[in-house]
A and B are shown apart, each in its own frame.
Chain A
């Protein structure tokens, strides 16, 4: 089963990490995988483009089926392996509703984080503005306040059970701490982060070189004032 699965990934990419957490949760360890170098531009290599014409990672194949969109891969793995590993979909309709709601709201925290962290990579030099960077930081702050509220209750995003919502959102939260988000300012979020980073599937898939600086990348304390 795992041998029919291939993942091309880059260290520290939240979408790649989501798929790796899902694979661990569903007991699909032993899949074929290849770590690519972002700095060397390997995410735009022919090997990736053959699977993902968008030149993005993850590039993911399950037998002949292509599932490059991380949420799509997670949904599919949960559906196809429902009875294997951990159940990532709550039974209770109310928790299920909350799972879907938080999963898709998670795209906001992911986008707003990227808008701040990857600003210089995504915006050509001639188009950068202090005003835009300020606005992006304010948007991220407002977003984090929402999640701080959501995590008053828990311990997981859908309520009492770990679900696909945590699989997809955790990596986007973790990357904020990688770049210096203050734990004291958002205590519920910090508690969520510190609790989940001990989960076996998350420990097993923790990105390599997490504590290293990225060459040419943003400083590690970029988010300390958010």
Chain B
């Protein structure tokens, strides 16, 4: 089963990490994979473009099926391998609703983090404004405070939707990212606790990025957030 799967990935990419966590959780180790280098532009190579015309990682194939969009790939794997490995979509309606809601809100967290960490990559020099930088940072703070609220009762086995779920698969890589880039554990204690609990989870330890690629402002861009 895993042998018919192929993942092309890059170190430190949250979307790639999500798929790798899911593959571990669903006991699909042994899949074919290739580590690419962002710095060498390998995400724009022919090998990637053939599977993903957008020139983005991850690229993910299962037999002839292609699902490059990370959240989509995670949902697909949970659906097809429902009876194998950990259950990643809760059965009870209340937790299921919370799972889907937080999973999709995770994309908002991704966007707001990217706007701060990668501002200079996304915005050409002539279009940059202090006012935008300030607004992006404020939006990120508000966003992080929402997640701090969602994790009021975080404890072992009590994550974004109760037991570990696809919401955590999608969101944890972003949280790990934020702390790697200097987010304060003092200002965001619940997020810090969530991070310290889940970083010990086997699927997460096994797939931990071998290295991280610094953003334009290095690794402490979030220290004052």
Chain A residues engaging chain B, CB cutoff 8 angstroms: 53-54, 62-73, 75-76, 79-80, 93-94, 96-98, 100-101, 103-105, 107-108, 124, 126-127, 129, 131-132, 146
A75 CA to B166 CA, complexed, in Å: 13
Partner of B66 from A96, A97, A127, A129 at Cβ < 8 Å:
A97
Partner of A100 from B76, B96, B146 at Cβ < 8 Å:
B76
Which residues of B have CB within 8 Å of A80?
A: 93, 96
What is the interface of chain A mostly: helix, strand, loop, or mixed? helix
Q: Are B131 and A93 in contact (CB under 8 A)?
A: no
Q: Are A104 and B64 in contact (CB under 8 A)?
A: no
Q: B103 at the A/B interface (Cβ < 8 Å)?
A: yes
Partner of A96 from B54, B80, B100, B129 at Cβ < 8 Å:
B80
Between A and B, how many residue pairs show CB distances below 8 Å? 89
Nearest-neighbor residue (CB-CB) of A73 within chain B = B100
Nearest-neighbor residue (CB-CB) of B111 within chain A = A111
Q: B53 at the A/B interface (Cβ < 8 Å)?
A: yes
Q: Are B72 and A100 in contact (CB under 8 A)?
A: yes
Partner of A66 from B62, B65, B76, B101 at Cβ < 8 Å:
B101
Q: B197 at the A/B interface (Cβ < 8 Å)?
A: no
A201 CA to B53 CA, complexed, in Å: 32
Q: Are B100 and A127 in contact (CB under 8 A)?
A: no
Nearest-neighbor residue (CB-CB) of A146 within chain B = B53
Interface residues of B in 129-147 (CB under 8 A from A): 129, 131-132, 146
Which among A97, A104, A105 has the greatest number of chain B C-beta atoms within 10 A? A97
Which residues of B have CB within 8 Å of A68?
A: 101
Which residues of B have CB within 8 Å of A105?
A: 69
> Shortest Cβ distance from A144 into chain B, in angstroms?
13
Question: Can you pick out 15 interface pairs between chain A and chain B where the beta carbons lie within 8 Å of each other?
Answer: A54-B108, A65-B94, A67-B100, A68-B101, A69-B101, A71-B104, A72-B101, A72-B104, A76-B96, A76-B97, A100-B67, A103-B72, A104-B70, A105-B69, A124-B131
Q: Are B105 and A69 in contact (CB under 8 A)?
A: yes
> Shortest Cβ distance from B51 into chain A, in angstroms?
11
Which residues of B have CB within 8 Å of A98?
A: 65
**Given A64-B94, A67-B101, A104-B72, A94 contacting B65 (CB threshold 8 A):** yes
**Given A93-B80, A100-B67, A131 contacting B127 (CB threshold 8 A):** yes
